[in-house]
Amino acid sequence: MREKLIQYRFLFEELVKRDFKKKYKRTVLGMVWSILSPLLTLLVMKLVFTQFFGRSTPHYTTYLFCGNLIFSCFNESASQGMTSLMGNAAIFTKVNVPKYLFLFSKNVQTLINFGLSLCVFFLFCILDNIIFTWKFILLLYPIACLVLFNIGVGLVLSALFVFFRDIQYLWSVFTQLLMYMSAIFYTIDSYSYEIQCAFLLNPVYLFIRYFRKIVIEATIPTIWFHLLMAADVLIALGLGCWMYKKYNTRFLYYV
């Protein structure tokens, strides 16, 4: 894979540029929307949920921002990744190129947007009197896991979307359910131990929880927490790579 990325480096760079320009085409604010969009979402959520869930939650703005930041990155990456193959069918049906390049370019664009939002997140941490410690370096681990997990999910969704167009509607419903099951605007402390453990089955919640433990609680998650995140990533990547390898030639007959 590394050799092919080097071989098709120019194409990959052009795909990233095209996707990034396409997203902000004919917009007045352009890249500013990468920062403004999560901020507006955060503002709405803060106005709606503060009175219900935020009264007793310390650093509730940062708490909300953690959840919104991670979930938005996952949702954007998965949604764009799902259509990455169909959206570039005109290219790979005529030219023999690795099909995963189209998905990777979408993830690079999402990662750039995530990086811009992350800078704003750290600014909010300062305004919220969050103490920065050396433990913030450990945030690189959930970020890396999130990127790899997004790629894995994108591989699966893009392959399924080629064969079943209905997946886009099912995915829309699923992500809405996933948002409510990721404890973005509420805490799970009031639930029983069994239910709290059930939340750990949600990979997106794991990423969010890791961020909150480092940023808000200033504590390092346990080793098994790290291993659980790694397991989710390996499962998503393994399933995605298997599907691409198995159905690589069949994609051409369904696009």
pLDDT (0 to 100) of residue 106: 84
The CB-side HSE value for 92 (13 A sphere, CA atoms) comes to 23
Decide if 142 contacts 233 (C-beta within 8 A): no
Structure tokens, 211:
């961020």
181 closest CA partner among 201, 163, 164:
201
* Predicted TM-score (pTM) of this structure: 0.86
**Helix residue ranges per DSSP H, 54-186:** 60-82, 89-92, 100-127, 140-163, 167-180
Q: What is the pLDDT of residue 149?
A: 96
Burial of 135 by CB count in 10 Å (0-12 exposed, 13-18 middle, 19+ buried)?
Answer: middle
C-alpha distances out from residue 225 to 121, 148, 235, Å: 24, 17, 16
Ranges of the chain with pLDDT below 50: none
DSSP 190: T
- Compute the Cα dihedral for 190, 195, 200, 204 and give only its sign: negative
Taking the CA atoms of 202, 208, 211 and 217 in sequence, report the sign of the dihedral they define. negative
